[in-house]
Structure 1
Amino acid sequence: MKKDLTPSKKFSGIIHVPGDKSIAHRAALFSILAKDKIEIRNFPDNQDCNTSIKAAESLGVKVEKDSDKITLTPPEKPIAAEDLIIDCGNSGTTVRLLSGVIAGSDLTVTLSGDESLSNRPMKRIIEPLSEMGAEFYATDNKLPVKIEGRKLLPFEYRLPVSSAQVKSAVLLAGLASHCSVKVIDEVLTRDHTECMLNATGEGLSVTHIKHVLV
């Protein structure tokens, strides 16, 4: 069967694209460390992204939802109830980025997940954050994991594997603890975290693409 396609002489319209899941996670979790309100429009309404919203709320972020946006108001500093357990569901992004936030904060929090997430290794996250000074308590480097945040040490880290989530966890730990961090990324990974933090003016710079400084 043969079909002939001819270009339209005129085309106009409005396309509504869905919100990006990776960016939505970061916007939700960045609110824990933010100085001002964050407004998110076109937030994807799915289980994983809502898990990050609930996690932020658990650490003191005020969440207001209306028809077209979510407003997140950060606390003066992250807070956590005694013996707080945050359920990360099946969201690997939530648990990995949140680990960085908690590691650099004066918090003690246990992160848990569903059966699938609990079978995923956390070693790639635990190792660099432990080197920075945070304390982790886990069996076989898997969830549930108890994190005791600390005032972290300045840190230079060369990513052993390509992982935007590990990179983001280390950067967020540095921001939370107000310490200098340098991440060397030999293989390019998604740069959502760098772009978003650069846009907020949080003192982050990118050098030669591979080197990320906080």
Structure 2
Amino acid sequence: MTNLFSSFDPSTSFGLSLNWLSTMLGLLFIPSMFWLIPSRWNFMWIKIINILHSEFKTLIGPNHQGSTLIFISLLTMIMFNNFLGLFPYIFTSSSHMVLTLALALPLWLSFMIYGWTNNTTHMFAHLVPQGTPPVLMPFMVCIETISNIIRPGTLAVRLAANMIAGHLLMTLLGNTGPSSSMIIINILIMAQLLLLILESAVAIIQSYVFAVLSTLYSSEVI
């Protein structure tokens, strides 16, 4: 089990602790796309940003004032990290709670500070859903308060757990290869390829889910 989880240890690969630099590897791909002559990749990326902007704008509401760019940047960073983690010998920083909590906690805290200082009545109204019977109101306040407090934790755990799960499954299948017969190895290779496709989809979906949930949480405090 120690060897199984060693791929998630920042200091084990090659005996160096430089693995967190992989978090910034995505920046290496950006300059050529943005600062040289616009290419098809550039136009495709602008199209994707426009689609995300229009979607986030509808989630936040009319008072967005350019805040969609924060969530598009967040989605892009997480997606880069998730994809880079699928390459061999590259450290998956988004599978660690250190990174996911560092993204989720400041976002949630800033929403809470802004909401409770500027829209206090609106925030109190959120604690009791509309149409709640008076008898259940104290319980609903407790439930809504707890669900609000655990939001950064659920955001962070969801992203980290999904990244770890796929990587562990691929590691487990890969470790059984050397001691298997040729038929089993062929089946394992097919399974690994299918898992790789699934993990590529998960990399996009989890970054999108993180950004959309952050957007929805921000829309509640405006």
Q: Same fold (TM over 0.5)?
A: no
- What TM-score results when the alignment is normalised by the length of structure 2? 0.22
- What TM-score results when the alignment is normalised by the length of structure 1? 0.22
Considering only CA atoms, is the larger Rg found in Structure 1 or Structure 2? 2
Q: Relative contact order: is structure 1 or structure 2 higher (C-alpha 8 Å, sep ≥ 6)? A: 2
